[in-house]
Amino acid sequence: MILPNHNQTLTRRTGRLAASWCAALLIASLPAHTFAAGASASEYAIKAAIIFKIAKFVSWPEQAFSGQSEPLTVCVQNNDPIAAAMSELNGKLIHGRVFSVHYIDENTTKHNSCQILFLSNTHREKQQALLNEAVGQPVLTIGDSDKFISQGGIIELNIAKNHVHFSINVAASETSGLNISAQLLQLAVITEKYQGT
């Protein structure tokens, strides 16, 4: 049976929305397996994959990039345990841009023009200076410490009941000029009030 053009368009649109919803749902349902006290390589691979998937649901303002060919850059500290897992994602495409992993020195307090900044729980002492530098800039800050949102971070990853969950500081994302998709927001714990210094 051939559907009229209007119905075909509606069917395609519904299919795209369903695909987007399924992709968003995948983020919330990725298994964290059983993590030992010393985090395993699988934990970092899962977190790296989630960071990549989250990026697909975020839009950056034009001024976040110097041009159409500039990559979407995620910065991680070069001695962070997640660094190796993040390097596996180098070269993939998001929003038509190459996903590029940049390693920053452990002593730096600058975000070095990255669009995503991941700050690990293993480097808490450096987090606040980096977060302060990113406030008001088009930088998606993601961290896995339990105080990340209250420090002004935008997305906080948590592991509970063998699944990865996340919280989103909506006010901080708006201050940074980022647009986070409704599909992603529906899966997160939302903080409406701005938190941070």
Tokens 């209007």, residue?
6
Q: Which amino acid type is present at position 130?
A: L
Q: Which of 169, 56, 75, 160 is closest to 113 using CA atoms?
A: 75
- Whole-structure pTM value: 0.78
Separation between Cα atoms, residue 129 and residue 124, nearest integer Å: 10
Q: The CATH number of 5-191 is which of 1.10.10, 1.10.3470, 3.40.50, 1.10.287? A: 3.40.50
Contact 78, 105 (CB under 8 A): yes
Per-residue confidence (pLDDT) for residue 197, from 0 to 100: 45
pLDDT per residue rounded down to tens, the chain (197 residues): 444 444 444 444 433 444 444 444 555 455 444 344 344 557 888 889 999 999 999 999 999 999 989 999 999 988 888 999 999 999 999 999 999 999 888 677 676 689 999 998 776 667 788 888 888 899 999 998 888 898 899 999 887 666 778 899 999 999 999 999 998 988 888 776 545 54
User: What are the domain boundaries of the chain?
Assistant: 5-191
Q: State the pLDDT at residue 37.
A: 38
HSE, side-chain direction, 13 A CA sphere, residue 140: 21
pLDDT of residue 17: 43
Which two tokens mark 153?
């971070």
